[in-house]
A = this chain, B = another copy of it.
Amino acid sequence: MNEIQSMMTGVIRENRKVASDQFMMTVILPPSFPIPAPGQFVMVREANRGEPLLARPLSVYGFQKQDDHAVLELLYRLAGRGTILFSKMKPGDEVALIGPLGKGFTIPEGLTRVLFIAGGVGVAPLIFLLQDRFLTAETEKGKKPIFYLGARNVNLLVGLERLNGLCDLKLCTDDGSQGYHGPVTELLKSEIEGYDPKETVIFACGPTPMILSLGRLLKDNPIPCQVSIEERMACGLGACLGCVVAIRGPGRKREYVRVCLEGPVFDLKEVLPTSSVDMQGSENES
């Protein structure tokens, strides 16, 4: 049996625009809400609504446990109907939440160099990971984490305030309005030789085009890379088999595994993400 999961009603404390197409929602939950691991996600719905029918998967962006309640932060991009309706919710409105779900990031032993590669709202689980696991990384075992963060333009770069001081920040924009002018993977490519594969790990999250070019970039590079993958979901619990992604299984055989249960974090070298979800996004967008 998995860790005990729960469907709970949360009350929105804040639901604020943080970029032209991104919102941050803060949800108050009962204190019994299990502590999420970085990379885990929740299934979110408006409570008491028949439509949209399905909950939407959103990564945990922040979490604090208090004595009598828990605070969950979500960062979401207006992708379609569901997220647009989320953005119209007001403080006091209720959401139904299942989670935390999925398998988060794994922190390998003895590493000294941590790279984060984020596109758009892909920053959400990575910031949570950074804050939750690497706050003391620098002092303890090595170099400051490096955070590559890309977006279409400067106005869509979100989460900077949380990253300040915790890492070396490398910003990229498609239009050059801030930082490197071009996709985040292009900047990484030009610097990848500088990292020692034996002591480096990459954590990545972003739109499918970004993941695909990251895959090309690291194809023959031994640096391990864990990537959080997105697919449409119905249950989030491993029951519907709707959210599968192809992986190279044992013996390089292609097989379908569930993003919600076996993922959402996969080894980049094994996963074969579908290009058919979220293809509108530029590489830097999510």
Contact = CB atoms under 8 A, between A and B. Distances in A.
Interface of A: 48-52, 88, 90
Contacts of A50: 51-52
Residue among A48, A50, A52, A88 having the largest count of chain B Cβ atoms under 10 Å: A50
6 contacts: A48-B88, A49-B51, A50-B51, A50-B52, A51-B51, A90-B90
A51 B49 CA distance: 8
Contacts of A48: 88
Contacts of A88: 48
Contacts of A52: 50
A49 B89 CA distance: 13
A85 to B, nearest CB: 8
Contacts of A49: 51
Contacts of A90: 90
A88 B48 CA distance: 10
A213 B51 CA distance: 40
A260 B68 CA distance: 53
A78 to B, nearest CB: 14
Nearest to A48: B88
A51 B51 CA distance: 6
A49 B52 CA distance: 9
A50 B51 CA distance: 7
A50 B50 CA distance: 9
A51 to B, nearest CB: 4
The 6 closest A-B pairs by CB, nearest first: A51-B51, A50-B51, A90-B90, A48-B88, A49-B51, A50-B52
